[in-house]
Structure 1
Amino acid sequence: MAENIVQRLRDEIENGIVTNQFAPGDRLDEMQLAKHFGVSRTPIREALMQLGAIGLIEMRPRRGAVVVEPGPHRIYEMFEVMAELEGMAGSLAARRHTDTDRTGLLAAHARCEHSANADDADTYYYDNELFHHAIYTASHSSFLIEQCTALHRRLRPYRRLQLRVRNRMKTSFSEHGGIVEAILSGEAELARTLLRQHIAVQGDRFSDLVATLSQREAHSG
């Protein structure tokens, strides 16, 4: 239960940062956040530590937690690198996957189908995360798994936010179908290409979303 509370708080604060409710340079006061969310400071502190681990905030002397969101260009660069890493993971998974990997990938794909059909973007995000981790695992490259996992974690708030762009969730799931088929049929280069395109689209969609959020902020200002 405590872990679920921390996750919910982390997600709420993440959303606040990526939608500019908390702007770069803003101080995130533990006591104010605890009062706002109606919780103690302990889960707030844990949520802030997790956000610090992915680079959204940093702890500064005498100021505490401060928002240090990277700019859109930096985020786009991270998506570019993520696309290459995921493409490599898909290629290796196509060549190396075991029966256990096949079962795990199909199970993750089925979960994504359920949440996509329910039009539940938040649940789909976490099911989507499991889907991509199933691909990493099937690559059987421990170093690549570490790198993919680390960058996936850093891009987490932006990957979740872009799923709310119109039709992106259904498109994402449709792309998963081709990726699964390529991996399980051993088509390494096709799996690489499809995964690179899958992640690159996320980067493009995020750019569109940034423009939309900027317009919304300008109208509300």
Structure 2
Amino acid sequence: MSLGDVIASQLEEQVINGSIPAGAKLDETAIATRFSVSRTPVREALHILCGRGLADRVAYKGVVVTRISPVRIDEMFEAMAELEAVCGRLACHRMTMSERAELEALHHEMEGLAEADDGSAYEALNTRFHTLIFAGCHNTDIIASAEALRLKLAPFRKYQLSEAGRRKRSSLEHRQIVDAILDQNPAATESALRRHLISAAREVVLRRQRLDATTTGEVE
């Protein structure tokens, strides 16, 4: 992971949790000073944020944080759900025996991490879990599309897995996905993946709403 990626990851988290509000300017010099780096990795980080729709380059203003509405979150997760559903449906019959075994073994490992409350390790394996399903469809163009959208949604998916309760629910949802793939049931796989992404989107929206309410004093 490059220095720019590290900076981008921290800025993304602050944008999504509201620490850096919509409309705020992301000043290169100030960020470089904060992280004790040159402006080169900061420019890389801001490029990543813009590419993921978390910030925009505005004429005469520079890079400004985008307002992320619940509707926009729903749209992105809906698109991801449909792409993952396609990958899962195809993977049901195209995954090799070794790929199926790897998916099941990875899920077992994630179950242990969810119980042990190891959020960082769980989040990393969560990316591998979904990447295995993409790869299992064995269609390079679909995989490329799914990976591109996964990168855009990555900070949101990381955010919604930051609480232990959500990780445990995620693990249960993964169990349904794995069972459907192992049973070679495409309809059940599509349904389980769509429900999983809907659940993730709901978690993001609800957490952001709670943060907004706390900020405005509606929740004590």
- TM-score over 0.5 for the pair: yes
Structure 2 counterpart of 1:31: 29
Shift of 1:35: 1.4
Give 1:44's aligned amino acid.
V
Q: TM-score, normalised by structure 2?
A: 0.89
In 2, Cα distance between equivalents of 1:16 and 1:155: 15
1:184 aligned residue: 182
Aligned length in residues? 219
Could you tell me whether the CA contact under 8 Å between 1:82 and 1:148 is conserved in 2? yes
Aligned to 2:145: 147
Aligned to 1:167, the other structure's residue is in SS state helix
Q: Deviations over 1:46-83 (max 9, x none)?
A: 11111121111122333322212431111112212222
Q: Choose the corresponding residue for 1:71, options 62, 69, 72.
A: 69
Match of 1:7 in 2: 5
Task: Tell me the secondary structure at the aligned position of residue 216 of structure 2.
Answer: helix
Whole-angstrom distance in 2 between the partners of 1:4 and 1:82: 26
Residue 178 of structure 1 deviates from its aligned partner by 2.1
Q: How does 1:40-79 map to 2 (within 5 A)?
A: 40-79=38-77
Aligned-pair CA distance for 1:114: 4.7
Which segment is superposed worse, 66-75 or 9-18? 66-75
Match of 2:209 among 208, 211, 219: 211
Q: Matches of 2:107 and 2:49 in 1, distance apart?
A: 28
Alignment RMSD: 2.2
Unaligned runs of 5+ in 2: none
1:158 maps to 156
Whole-Å separation in 1 of the counterparts to 2:36 and 2:110: 32
Q: 1:207 to 1:70 in 2, by over 3 A?
A: closer
Could you tell me how far 1:5 is from its partner in structure 2?
3.3
> Is the deviation greater in 137-146 or in 159-168?
159-168
Q: Percent identity?
A: 35
**Counterpart secondary structure, 2:63:** strand
Question: Aligned partner of 1:95: which letter?
Answer: H
Alpha-carbon spacing, 1:62–1:155, altered in 2? closer, same or farther (3 Å): same
Q: 1:200 aligns with which of 198, 201, 204?
A: 198
SS of residue paired to 2:217: helix
**TM-score of the aligned structures, taking structure 1 as reference length:** 0.88
Partner of 2:92: 94
**Compared CA separation, residues 12 and 37, structure 1 to 2 (3 A):** same
Moved over 4 A (4+): none
The structure 1 residue matched to 2:170, chosen from 154, 169, 172, is 172
| Distance in 2 separating the partners of 1:114 and 1:50 | 32
Change (3 A) 1:30 1:150: same
